[in-house]
Amino acid sequence: MTSLHRGKQSMIFPNRPVVTAWASVVGKKEGEGPLGKRFDLVVPDGKFGEKTWEQAETHFQQAAMELLLEKAGEEIPAPELVFSGDLLNQCVGSSYALRGSGLPALGLYGACSTMAEGLLLAGVAVNAGYVQQAAALSSSHFAAAERQYRFPLAYGGQRTPTAQWTVTGAGAILASAEGDGPVLTGATVGTVEDKGITDANNMGAAMAWAAYRTIRANLEDLSRSPEDYDQIVTGDLGSLGSNMVREFFEKDGIRLGNRYTDCGVLIYDPEAQDVHCGGSGAGCSASVLAARLLPGLASGEWKRILFCGTGALLSPTTVQQKRSIPAICHAVAIES
Amino acid sequence: MTSLHRGKQSMIFPNRPVVTAWASVVGKKEGEGPLGKRFDLVVPDGKFGEKTWEQAETHFQQAAMELLLEKAGEEIPAPELVFSGDLLNQCVGSSYALRGSGLPALGLYGACSTMAEGLLLAGVAVNAGYVQQAAALSSSHFAAAERQYRFPLAYGGQRTPTAQWTVTGAGAILASAEGDGPVLTGATVGTVEDKGITDANNMGAAMAWAAYRTIRANLEDLSRSPEDYDQIVTGDLGSLGSNMVREFFEKDGIRLGNRYTDCGVLIYDPEAQDVHCGGSGAGCSASVLAARLLPGLASGEWKRILFCGTGALLSPTTVQQKRSIPAICHAVAIES
């Protein structure tokens, strides 16, 4: 293992944990988007046969986990550790999803950065030999999130131009000590940043600085330049936030160009789907990682990507109390 | 490193990360309890000079972290990783506490098991050599928790006999690759258990089975008996839940006796303080660990303890939806 060095935020994984399986399950709107055919399962019923949106979110996670284990195949045993989280109060989507599974579970809270945080910790656990198999799992649900963070859907509130659309869906990833697939080669742990944004409908702006800081830290710690990555993908800043990241780098004299994109930009069609600034939610970067990024590495389309999960660490209470929105970004380097 | 073996939940830390510093900061009521003089700081003002209970909770965490770094002394550098969490929606107590600190941070959600989860992950990171110093940090606040989980204080609701009292306070622990102090020698990751309890005022009962399962897993995985620990301490089942744990073990023919106790039982005086079943909250086991358990190991009073953080994974929404309460317990073995 290479340690985090004093004043640095990055670690490398010399034992190269292998991403042996991945799965994504999304809702109807996500299925109608540009990545529609790439998801493993599109569920037209937003309640997924359940009574409540919250139970539906749990069902999305369970379906992603079941598909993950199915795709991993019988040769790969069940994970010895699962890192999971979601956006619901007290992360109940994840807790109910793993209830009774018998799988050792560590709960995370990283808002929309949860999949990156889980993948990072799965890499930590597998690279160090604590486990042979570790899974990362996260989800979000549009209706559950709107009710919790903003307004009940029945209220018919108008969305602001900077709003993002919470993805209904879940993603699950399996990191293994051995096997075939893309490999986790390093990670950068984020710091909690706050640029004073108080508008809960402008989370992209709140998160952009954290994303910039973590990507910079990754490049500096590992003596890399953006060209060392075929893709640098944040998730989920949306169009406004991702443009801010481009601008921060331009001030450093760095043009990210096509090398840079964002899961919230990739998941919906800005012309055909009325999503304003793009997708968000802990299920967004999780499902895009599983449906688009890992397959892109597996097929050889890219050799090395930096997957940067971004989280806006607000709550409805802090919004009512008019506090600014802290944000965090964790990055994981994945290679084919 | 010794890996988690198939079907097992425990790992050992052969490099024995050292707990080089610990700090606790609590409120007035906790200061008046049996451990009152053992806390590093008792803050009589429940708002800690802040405008809101939520900001006060952040202040408790910050004060615990500052005290931790002060007690660690100048020779020990700042942690390269902080694992933190709390009970507030979206864990905002922790996010604001670490905002602007520049410390790489990974957010956890484990309800009242958060300190055990954080200590476990700090042990994982230090034992494997990823970092030289890792901190675990968690908190809770009576007034913020009552408002969020039950009723606003001004409502004057009557507490049920099985209710526990959420601790106002925070604890912070530093695990280091080198130094003097108690050592982390192993840990057991819990599974999400649910015995069908639906009463949010009876969390001890909801968590007792999870605690029993994790303690059993620890003993079986490591071929130990309860006598191998001078103390087995859950946190926070309170009096009712901890008696249930005793009963579960008695059915196995094992009498835990004085060897077993609970942080929720230790923190308040059941006669003099009207707390019903005892203390709870992510700040309870964190502050008791720092104020009572680690000093007991450092002084040689005990040689080996099993610190078992227990979390009730409910939310106000799931209570309203009449769902049963999943629970989890993570255990960390600490030796003098």
A137 Cβ neighbours under 8 A, 6+ residues apart: A61, A64, A65, A82, A83, A84, A94, A97, A118, A170, A171, A172, A173, A286
| CB pairs < 8 Å spanning A and B | 200
A267 with A144, same domain: the answer is no
Taking contacts as CB-CB distances below 8 angstroms, the residues of chain B near A314 are 90, 92
User: Beta partners for B136?
Assistant: B83, B173
Residues A156 and A85 in one domain: yes
pLDDT, one tens digit per residue, over B258-273 is: 999 999 999 999 999 9
Residue among A95, A124, A194 whose CB faces B124 most closely: A124
Contacting A residues, span 110-139, partner chain B, CB-CB under 8 Å = 110-111, 117, 120-121, 124-125, 127-132
CA atoms within 13 A on the CB side of A76: 25
* Closest alpha carbon within chain B to A6: B80
Sign of CA pseudo-dihedral B107, B108, B114, B116: negative
When CB atoms are compared, the residue of A95, A111, A192 closest to B326 is A95
Amino acid at position B277, single letter: C
Residues of chain A with Cβ-Cβ distance to B131 below 8 Å are: 3-4
- Which alpha helices (DSSP H) does A102-179 contain, by range? 114-127, 142-149
**Of A4-13, A301-310, B121-130, B279-288, which range is least confident?**
A4-13
Paired tokens of B184: 């982390």
Q: For residue A5, is pLDDT > 70?
A: no
- Note whether B14 contacts A: Cβ–Cβ < 8 A: no
Asked if the structure places residue B272 within a domain, the reply is yes
Instruction: Round to whole Å and give the CA distance between A208 and B273.
Output: 48
CA distance A319 to chain B (A): 11
User: Domain for residue A3, yes or no?
Assistant: no
What value does the mean pLDDT take over residues A137-157?
A: 89
Residue given tokens 């258990």 in the structure block? B193
Give a yes or no: residue A5 inside a domain: no
Are the Cβ atoms of A117 and B107 closer than 8 angstroms?
Answer: yes
Domain contains A2: no
- C-alpha R_g of chain B: 18
Provide CB contacts within 8 A for B114, sequence distance 6+. Answer: B84, B85, B86, B108, B138, B282, B286, B309, B311
CATH code for position B331:
3.40.47.40
End position of a domain, from candidates A132, A160, A176 = A176
pLDDT for the residue numbered B200: 84
Cβ atoms within 10 A of the Cβ of B231, count?
20
Domain boundary among A117, A143, A176: A176
Q: Which residues neighbour A3 within 8 Å (Cβ) at sequence distance 6 or greater?
A: A11, B80, B129, B130, B131, B132
Q: Which of A10, A53, A86, A130 to mutate to test the interface with B (most CBs of B within 10 A)?
A: A130
Mean pLDDT computed over A59-78: 95
Chain B, residues 192-221, CB within 8 A of chain A, namely 192-194
Instruction: Count other Cβ atoms within 10 Å, centred on residue A198.
Output: 13
Contacts with A78 (C-beta within 8 Å, 6 or more apart), sequence order: A69, A103, A133
Closest CA in chain B for residue A191: B104
Same domain, B100 and B211: no
Query: Residue B282 and residue B75: Cα distance in Å, rounded?
Result: 29
Q: Residues A221-254: pLDDT tens digits?
A: 999 999 999 999 999 999 999 999 999 999 999 9
A1 confidence band (pLDDT: 50, 70, 90):
very low
The answer to whether the CB atoms of B132 and A3 lie below 8 A apart is yes
Residue B22 shares a structural domain with residue B103: yes
Q: Report the distance separating Cα B93 and Cα B9, nearest Å.
A: 30
Dihedral pair phi/psi, residue A150, rounded to 5°: -125, -100
Give the model confidence (pLDDT) of B141-177 as tens digits: 999 998 898 887 888 888 888 888 999 999 999 999 9
Please provide the distance, in angstroms rounded to a whole number, between the alpha carbons at the two ends of chain B. 20
Q: Please list the residues that pair with A42 across neighbouring strands.
A: A26
In a domain, A1, yes or no: no
Q: Is A237 within the bounds of a domain?
A: yes
Enclosing domain of residue A245: 183-335
Asked if the structure places residue B265 within a domain, the reply is: yes
Same domain, B26 and B153: yes
Please answer yes or no on whether A109 and B107 come within 8 Å at the CB atom.
yes
Nearest CA-CA partner of A188 in A236, A281, A124, A253: A124
Tokens representing A58?
């749990």
Query: For residue A280, is pLDDT > 70?
Result: yes
Of all residues in chain A, the one with the smallest CA distance to B117 is: A106
Confidence of residue A91 (pLDDT cuts 50, 70, 90): very high
Determine the residue of chain B that is closest to A324 in CA distance: B96
Question: Which is more confidently placed, A79 or A4?
Answer: A79
CA angle at B186 for the pair B62 and B166, rounded to the nearest 5°: 40
Q: Is the CB of A318 less than 8 angstroms away from the CB of B192?
A: no
Kindly state whether residues A167 and A285 are assigned to the same domain.
no
Residue A157's pLDDT is what?
A: 82
What's the domain count of chain A?
A: 2
Cβ atoms A108, B328 nearer than 8 A:
no
Look at strands A304-312 and B105-107 and give their pairing. Answer: unpaired
**Domain stops at, among B144, B176, B208:** B176
How much is the pLDDT for A4? 54
A245 and A187 assigned to the same domain: yes
Encoded amino acid at A154, one letter: A
- B103 vs A: CB within 8 A: yes
* CB-CB neighbors (< 8 A) of A3 in chain B: 80, 129-132
B198 and B138 together in one domain: no
- Which of A109, A121, A194 shows the shortest C-beta gap to B91? A109
Low-confidence ranges of chain B (pLDDT < 50): 1-2
Is B3 contained in some domain?
A: no
Q: Does A89 touch chain B (CB under 8 A)?
A: yes
Q: For residue B2, what is the DSSP state?
A: B
- Does the predicted TM-score (pTM) go above 0.90? yes
ipTM score for this prediction:
0.96
Lowest mean per-residue pLDDT among A59-68, A151-160, A272-281, A284-293 = A151-160
In terms of DSSP bridges, do strands B10-12 and B183-188 run parallel, antiparallel, or are they unpaired? antiparallel
Is residue A152 within 8 angstroms of chain B, CB to CB?
no
Cα(B99)–Cα(B106) distance, integer angstroms: 12
C-alpha pair distances (Å), A191 with each of A125, A209, A221, B94: 21, 11, 14, 12
Nearest-by-CA chain B residue for A98: B192
Mutate to test the interface with B, among A51, A95, A178 (most CBs of B within 10 A): A95
Residue of A nearest to B98 (CA): A192
Q: Is B54–A190 a contact, with Cβ atoms under 8 angstroms apart?
A: no
Whether residue B118 sits in one domain with residue B31: yes
For residue B171, give both structure tokens. 């604890």
Q: Tell me, what's the pLDDT at B1?
A: 38
Q: Rounded to 5 degrees, what are φ and ψ at B196?
A: 85, 10
B312 neighbors B292 (Cβ within 8 angstroms): no
pLDDT of residue A6: 57
Residues in B 232-291 with any Cβ partner in A closer than 8 A = none
In the prediction, which pLDDT does A92 show?
Answer: 95
Q: Do both A188 and A312 map to the same domain?
A: yes
pLDDT at A319 over 50: yes
Say if residue A163 is in the same domain as residue A96: yes
Q: Residue B320 to residues A96, B91, B315: CA-CA distances in angstroms?
A: 15, 21, 9
Residue B254, classified by CB atoms within 10 Å of its CB into exposed (0-12), middle (13-18) or buried (19+), is: middle
Is A148 found in the same domain as A57?
A: yes
Which pLDDT tens digit goes with each residue over A95-104?
999 998 999 9
